Structure formats: structure tokens, C-alpha cells
Amino acid sequence: MSVHLLYGEETYLLETKLKRIKKDFGELVNGINFIRIDDTNAQELIEDIETSAFGYEKKLIIARNTGLFKKEKKTAKGQELVVNKLMNKIAEYINENISVINEAVELVFVEEEAEKNALYKAIEKNGEILEFALLKLPELIQNIQKICVAYKVKIDNGTAKYFIECCGTSMQELINEIRKLIEFVGQDGIITTKEIDLLSIKQIDSVIFDLTDNLGKKDTKKAIEVLNNLIYEKEPIQKILITLYNHFKKLYIVKIAEEYRKDLASAMQLKPNQLFLTTKYKMQAKYFSKQEIEKILEEFINLDANYKVGLIDINIGLEAILCKYCS
């Protein structure tokens, strides 16, 4: 198969596949047997397919984020947009000339998302389509443990889950962080939560979970300490406020979903690889009544408004809110 479509949110696995295609292809000479296409020159794709590779048997064309796989749109007059006309033209060309393409070209489309339009169907019929969806928790744990085994380092399921909760669900980020831990514990070492807390860069969402735990347990000192650590690590204070607001909004959704017996994952609009967070949100929601969460959300909204007109320092305002609800 010489025509490929690679798409999806799991960019690490997608890019790994793309690197393998390039490696298997062999020597690449830019502009001769290696052509890059994007949304600025997508109209040149057919011409590039038909142009000789000048001394090479085949050429590799990588068409990245061309916009050709987005949902078809119509103008006010009902005419197709230029991009949709081009998409249909390329789809028709692939269907009619696939034997020629297979002999002379390796064509790879790389997209963040892909609608099942005419071009998608042409590739599906004549080539290969690979979707790289975000990995779910069991798959992430399995991948992390495979990496550790390769370096003769141990990490159990519970610790791997904690690691993912702290560092997120992006494989690229997880690999960057697990490498540090592997280097630290060394061959035959064991990664524990202690090493993760010591060395890993936690995502702000994970830190907000820690802050909310302390808030729920009425531990003012630790709640303020977590906040100050975020500020010390140069997280923008406005971002901290917004993240806190969004976090408590999710806790409020938990309360509503439980009250009306709705599916929590759907109500919170969690992605498939975030479903493991439902338990954490449920546990944290138990710390607060529905009315308390409403008041906290109102406090965050008022702080944002007053900060923007210069009535209060946002740092002091956040600390005041934490102290108020820890007391």
C-alpha cells in the first residue's frame, strides 16, 4: 500500500509510525524524492505526484494538516468551497490512478482529525488508514511498564496509575517523565510514589486535585503551600484561578449527575482516556455540599471580576478563599 492516512490525538504513536515509514523508505532528498505538502500548497499535490523523482525509483510525499479532511461546508449560495473541490479532485485522481501512484509514490496524509469524506473513502479503498486515538488507562499502564522492563526497572500497577494521574495521558509527556525516573532508580531499581513526587513535573490539573484534597480536609497550611508552590513554579496566577474554577465546576457536575442519576462520564464530557478520573472527582465531591460548591464558584467569579478592575490582588484573593473554606 502506497497511500496512507494517519490521524488522531495520540501524536507520539502517530509520529512514531511516520518515522518508521520514512526510515523504511530510505534516502530522502528534499525537493527531489521527498516533498512536503500543507494547507498552503495542497493544490500542487497532483502535480507533485506526476513529477519524476529524478534518478530515484519512488518519491515520498507527506501531506500534513492540509484541511482536506475537514467536514464539508457550503457557502451561502450553496456552492462548495475551494478546499472541498480540491478534496474531491484528489479523491477522484487517487481512485483513477492508484496503480501509477503505487509504482512511483509513497503518499502519506497526516491529520489531527479526519471526516469520512470522499478523499477518506478513496484512501480507505486504495490504501491504509490508521487512527491514533488517545490511549485508555490500562494501555497507558501497559506501555509504561514495557518501557520500564526494557531498562530492567520495576513499577507496579498502582504506582503506574499514580504516575499517569500526576503526569497526564500524553505518551510523549509520560515517556519524558519516566525516563528521568528510570535514570534515577537505575537498573534493577523500583519506581515508587516517593520518586514520582520527588522528580516528576506534575500537570497543573493533578496539583489542583492535591489542593482540593487539602481544602476538603480543612488543612489550610497545606492548601496554601500547594498554591504557593504553583506560583513559585511560575504557573500564571490567572491560569491557576481558571483551573480551580473549572475543577470545582466538575465537582458541581458530579453533584448534579448524582442528584438526577445521570452518567457521570457523559455529564463531565470526559474523553475515553480520562474515565479513570471519575472516581477521584466523586471522592472529592464528598468533601463539599452542593451549596458550598456554588458559593466557591461564585467566589472565584467575583475574584476574577474584582481583580480585573484593580479592586483586589489575585494572590491575596485566592488565599482568602482557601482560608475561608478551610476554616
Q: Report how far residue 65's alpha carbon sits from residue 175's, in angstroms, rounded to the nearest whole number.
A: 25
Under a CB-based contact definition with an 8 Å cutoff, are residues 244 and 208 in contact? yes
**Which tops the pLDDT comparison, 327 or 25?**
25
Look up residue 128 and give its DSSP letter. Answer: E
Q: Does 72 score more than 70 pLDDT?
A: no
Under a CB-based contact definition with an 8 Å cutoff, are residues 125 and 5 in contact? no
Beta-strand pair 105-111/128-131? unpaired
Output the pLDDT for position 108. Answer: 98
Q: Does 132 score more than 90 pLDDT?
A: yes
Output the pLDDT for position 241. Answer: 95
DSSP string, 277-294: HHHHHHHHHTTS-HHHHH
Q: Report how far residue 68's alpha carbon sits from residue 237's, in angstroms, rounded to the nearest whole number.
A: 39
Q: Does 242 score more than 80 pLDDT?
A: yes
Q: Report how far residue 225's alpha carbon sits from residue 114's, in angstroms, rounded to the nearest whole number.
A: 44
Under a CB-based contact definition with an 8 Å cutoff, are residues 35 and 61 in contact? yes
Q: How far is CA 327 from CA 83, 223, 306, 313, in A?
A: 59, 12, 23, 21
**Lowest mean pLDDT, pick from 135-144, 158-167, 261-270, 292-301:** 261-270
Q: Does 73 score more than 60 pLDDT?
A: no
Output the pLDDT for position 244. Answer: 95
Task: Give the pLDDT mean for 179-206.
Answer: 95
Task: Give the pLDDT mean for 79-101.
Answer: 89
**Mean of all residue pLDDT scores within the chain:** 92
All domains in the chain, ordered by first residue: 3-131 (3.40.50.300), 137-199 (1.10.8.60), 204-326 (1.20.272.10)
At residue 167, what is the residue type? C
Around Cβ 234, how many Cβ atoms within 10 Å?
A: 7
Determine the Cα angle at 147 with ends 162 and 129, to 5°.
100
Task: Give the pLDDT mean for 20-30.
Answer: 95
Q: How confident is the model at residue 79 (pLDDT cuts 50, 70, 90)?
A: very low
Query: Cell numbers at residue 269, please?
Result: 464530557
Query: Cell numbers at residue 168, please?
Result: 497526564
Q: How confident is the model at residue 327 (pLDDT cuts 50, 70, 90)?
A: low
Could you tell me how far CA 159 lies from the centroid of its own chain?
22
Q: Does 191 score more than 50 pLDDT?
A: yes
Q: First and final CA of the chain: distance in angstroms?
A: 65
Q: How confident is the model at residue 233 (pLDDT cuts 50, 70, 90)?
A: confident
Under a CB-based contact definition with an 8 Å cutoff, are residues 223 and 211 in contact? yes
Output the pLDDT for position 75. Answer: 44
Output the pLDDT for position 76. Answer: 43
Q: Does 1 score more than 90 pLDDT?
A: no
